[in-house]
Amino acid sequence: MRLTVLGSSASFAGPGQACSGYLVETGGTRVLLDCGNGALANAAAVTDVTTLDAVFISHTHPDHYLDLYALQAALRYAPEGPAGPLPLHLPKGLFERMGSLLSERGRRELEAAYVPTDLADDEPVTVGPLTVTPRGVDHDSLAFGFRIEAGDERFCYTGDTRYGEAALRLTSHCGVLLADCTLPSEYAGRAPHMTPGEAGRLASASGTRLLVLTHLWPTADRERLLTDARVEFAGEVVLADELMDIEIEPALFGPWEENER
């Protein structure tokens, strides 16, 4: 299984960056986790976005879904004819909210481009060989993180979340942890996100081998983010960067279900 970072920025994108988006590929199956502003252009650099198998949106903040509008246009106006409809898994109420910004024609085209399904806590979704399991996290809106597995390969994506029981429940026994790291340490508690130290603590508790810090504030001191995370986590730590590829290796421990009994 391969993970490609399409957008690593929090809230707004810095030069050459994009907001949240991640491409997961295995066995010919390709899904997007989040589709924030700018992420679709990076997706188009590495795949045909009109032939994706599904999209999963973690929560209702625009920096995680705005490029769904652009993807809708790509699907409906593909040169060879309309593509889709594309399965779209997202928090309850978000699809209706998206349509409310459009004209009547725009709403019809949005509805023709996607097959929306509400995410539900702990209800797995199977897409080809991939299983994506959403779990509720502690943000300031209805929000989910995702556990993604294909055979014995697996990783966790926290989405946006505070550190705490929900994040710990989501990430236990994951091989690779893609973690929210929005806030420098001095901003701890001022917004519903994790600091690098908290992301490192989460990685230590999860048993992960690789911590990937993402949802990064564009002007943050990136070397300091790494340093602060490494204080709490002795394993490998990297910063997410646009078009970075990460190979997800087989897990070092048994199935998630066994580890949670």
Higher-confidence position of 94 and 185: 94
pTM beyond 0.75, yes or no: yes
User: What homologous superfamily is domain 2-259 in, according to CATH?
Assistant: Ribonuclease Z/Hydroxyacylglutathione hydrolase-like (3.60.15.10)
Query: Is the pLDDT reported for residue 148 higher than 50?
Result: yes
Distance from C-alpha of 261 to C-alpha of 256, rounded to nearest angstrom? 9
Which residues are paired to 29 by β-bridges? 26
**Residue found under tokens 């279900």:** 257
pLDDT tens, position by position, 16-44: 999 999 999 999 999 999 999 999 999 99
Cβ atoms of 161 and 138 closer than 8 Å? yes
pLDDT tens, position by position, 69-95: 999 999 999 888 899 899 999 999 999
Q: How far apart are the first and last CA of the chain?
A: 26
**What distances in angstroms separate CA 7 from CA 52, 58, 156, 205, one per listed residue?**
17, 14, 16, 26
Q: What is the pLDDT of residue 254?
A: 61
**Residue found under tokens 């960067």:** 241
**What distances in angstroms separate CA 62 from CA 36, 54, 98, 118, one per listed residue?**
7, 19, 10, 17
Map out the domains of the chain as residue ranges: 2-259
Q: What is the pLDDT of residue 256?
A: 60
Provide the 8-state DSSP code for 51. G
Residue type, 201: R
What DSSP letter does each residue of 156-214 carry, written as one string?
Answer: EE--S--SSHHHHHHHTT-SEEEEE--S-GGGTTSSSS--HHHHHHHHHHHT-SEEEEE
Distance from C-alpha of 81 to C-alpha of 4, rounded to nearest angstrom? 28
pLDDT tens, position by position, 202-248: 999 999 999 999 999 999 999 999 999 999 999 999 999 999 999 99
**Residue found under tokens 């481009």:** 113
